[in-house]
Amino acid sequence: MRTSLLTGLLGVAVAFAPALAAPAKKPVRKIAPPPVLTVEAPRAAVRVNGLLVPQAILMKPMTPAEAEANAVWNLRAGLNVAALQCQYSPYLATVKTYNDLIKHHSAELAAAQATMLGHFKRYDGTRALNSFDQYTTRTYNSFSTLDAQYAFCVAAAVAGRGALFVVKGELGKYALAQTPILRLSLIPPDAPYGFAGLVPVPLPPVEG
């Protein structure tokens, strides 16, 4: 009797073993893909000899006016990042320079913003404001650096101080020329084609 009871229990255990070993599969939930953005995802940073170099975001084709506005917005973003990251040196005066830039070229900065909003409206329609916000955030991130912070801070101080001497209405041309130099400073000095040699640039005096 006892032997038959054990045999019966073992049979029940064996019968239920497959069910215990293979639990029922839950249905897979399908997630809708995110919407396609006009501003392509930035390459964030690439490694050059093991050092991180932030990269500019990739844009869709722009008109000459939009390219100039994009340069102005990049210059503004770079100088804003410098105002936050370069306060270790009062000599560079990046905070004062940025604040003075906003006052001196306020009309051109507003025009650049409107032009870039028009760029995104042309591609994205009703999503233009959202695309512009993402573009601005990614542009700011593309100037954030640790490995080349000193070179970037000096370059930003020079570019910002120079912008204060640009007559109103000419900031776009200045930004087109200066933004590539500012980006060059993001390459660490010991990386190939680094910023070495361009750092010791005299700074114009700070007024006030």
Asked if residue 107 is part of any domain, the answer here is yes
- pLDDT at site 54: 62
Question: Phi and psi of 46, rounded to 5°?
Answer: -115, 155
CA 109 – CA 73 distance, rounded (Å): 7
Q: H helices of 86-168, where?
A: 94-104, 106-124, 128-141, 149-163
Asked if residue 16 is part of any domain, the answer here is no
CA 131 – CA 21 distance, rounded (Å): 49
CA 183 – CA 173 distance, rounded (Å): 16
- pLDDT at site 26: 54
CA 133 – CA 139 distance, rounded (Å): 10
Q: Return the closest-CA partner of residue 153 out of 162, 165, 145.
A: 145
CA 161 – CA 207 distance, rounded (Å): 10
Token pair, residue 115, equals 């032009």
Asked if residue 50 is part of any domain, the answer here is no
Asked if residue 74 is part of any domain, the answer here is yes
Q: How many domains does the chain have?
A: 1
pLDDT in 10s for each residue of the chain, 208 residues: 544 544 444 444 444 444 444 455 555 454 444 333 333 434 454 555 455 566 677 788 999 999 999 999 999 999 999 999 999 999 999 999 999 999 999 999 999 999 999 999 999 999 999 999 999 998 998 898 877 788 899 999 999 999 999 999 999 999 999 999 998 888 866 544 444 333 333 334 444 3
- Can you give the pTM of this predicted structure? 0.68
Token pair, residue 183, equals 């980006």
- pLDDT at site 16: 43
Asked if residue 76 is part of any domain, the answer here is yes
User: To 5 degrees, how large is the angle CA 9–CA 10–CA 12?
Assistant: 65
Asked if residue 72 is part of any domain, the answer here is yes
Question: Which structural domain range is residue 152 located in?
Answer: 60-184
- pLDDT at site 148: 76
- pLDDT at site 74: 95
